[in-house]
Amino acid sequence: MYRLRRPWTAPSTAAAALVRPVWRGLPWRVWGVAQGAGTLAAGLIRVCGGGPLPALVLLRAAVLAGALGLAFLLDDPARHTTATVPVRRVVRTALRVALVAPVVAVWWTAVLLLVPGSVRPPVWDITLEAGTASVLALAAATVAVRRTDEPEPGRSVATALLAGAVLAPLLLPARWALFVAPGDPGWAAAHERWAWVLAGAAALWAVSLREPRRRRTVRAPLRSAFRSVFRSPCGTSGLSRTC
């Protein structure tokens, strides 16, 4: 097959054309539920009162709820058809993130404002935790998209994120503790570790953004079984792009 030369402005034009359909295709309903739950958790702090520790626990639950919502960001039921658009996956993913970032920022600000100032943990530190959880969710979703053909990997990503959130406070040794209480002498050190986790997650995300050079190899028996049921969803004419 021949590759056509395209003008250098083509990708940006195509990306601009994608804005509206991507906006419409974003999993808004999932976010509505997740962010609603997060807001509810933050609202509980205001309603029920309590000290800084319950407030932090509820705020962390809100962070987790928001991150669980973000795990569904790359879900695209039409993935196998949208793979053929002349825009690279980096651009498509970046577009989704760019569209959703303001919404998430506004939600997070609202959540923080819901927490009474007297029990609110240090804003930048808790925002660092929230950012890390979000980037981890995004990185996991990106890895799932890259490694599998699943159009909606959000469910598995959310499960993995949840397992991490349950197990990390239980299994992390004290010197690597991430979930410290307010007023704990290890708060600053723990947030340094949070920053490292954020950096690692961001790096993982950046590495996984690019499309794999070769199509993922599926084990032979599985592949033959797969082929007998489905045709390749990405076309069979030797496209250099995979989906």
Partner 1 sequence: MTATRTERTAPVAVSTGTRNGRAAVVALAGFEARRLLLRLPVLLALAGHVTWIVWRTLRPADDFPVLQDADRATQSGPLFVGLAVMLCANQAALRSLRRDTERHFAVTSLTLWRRTAAHVLSVVPLALLTAVAVTAQFTWEAAKPGAVGRGSVAELLAGPLTVLLFGTAGVLLARLNSSAVAGPLLVVAFLLLFVGSASQSGGQDTGPVWLWPVVVTSGVHPFPSDLLGRPAGWHALYLAGLALTVALLAVLVSGGRTRTVQAALAGALALAALGGVMQTGGIPAATDTARSRASLAPEQDQTCVRRGASHYCAFPEWTPRVEDWARIADRVQGLAGGAAHDRPLLVRQRLEARYGLSDDAALDPATRPDQVTVGTSWGGDRVPEFSTAVAGVLVAGNERRAGELCDGRMVPLMWLSLAWQRDPESALRHVRLDDSVTGSALVLSGTEPLTMTAGQTKVVRALLHRPLADVGARVKAHWDELTAPGVTTARAAELLGVRVSVGGDRCTG
- Output 179 or 202, the one with its CB closest to partner 1: 179
- The answer to whether the CB of 168 falls within 8 A of the CB of 178 is yes
Residue type at 78 in one-letter notation: A
Give the residue with the Cβ less far from partner 1, 69 or 131: 69
Beta carbon nearer to partner 1, 212 or 233: 233
Instruction: Tell me the closest approach of the beta carbon of residue 130 to partner 1, in angstroms.
Output: 14
Cβ proximity to partner 1, 195 vs 232, nearer residue: 232
Shortest distance, position 151 Cβ to partner 1, whole Å:
11
Dihedral of CA atoms 197, 132, 34, 144 in degrees, nearest 10, equals -50
Amino acid identity of residue 136, one-letter, is L
DSSP of 174-235: GGG--SPPTT-TTHHHHHHHHHHHHHHHHHHHHHHHSPPSSPPPPPHHHHHHHHHH---TT-
- Using the minimum distance from each CB to partner 1, give the nearer residue, 70 or 112: 70
Q: How far is the CB of 7 from partner 1 (least distance, A)?
A: 28
Around 156, how many Cα atoms within 13 Å sit in the side-chain half-sphere? 15
Residues that bind partner 1 (CB under 8 A): 29-30, 33-34, 37, 41, 53-54, 57-58, 61, 64-65, 68-69, 71-72, 152, 154-155, 158-159, 161-163, 165-166, 229-231
Tokens describing residue 238 = 């030797």
The minimum distance between CB 13 and partner 1, in angstroms, equals: 27
Identity of the residue, 15 or 154, whose beta carbon is nearer to partner 1 in the bound complex: 154
What b/e readout covers 49-80, taking b as 16+ CB neighbours within 10 angstroms?
eeebeebbebbbbbbbbbbbbbbbbbbbeebb
What 8-state DSSP symbol labels residue 100?
A: H
**At closest approach, how far in Å is the CB of 108 from partner 1?**
17
Q: At closest approach, how far in Å is the CB of 28 from partner 1?
A: 11
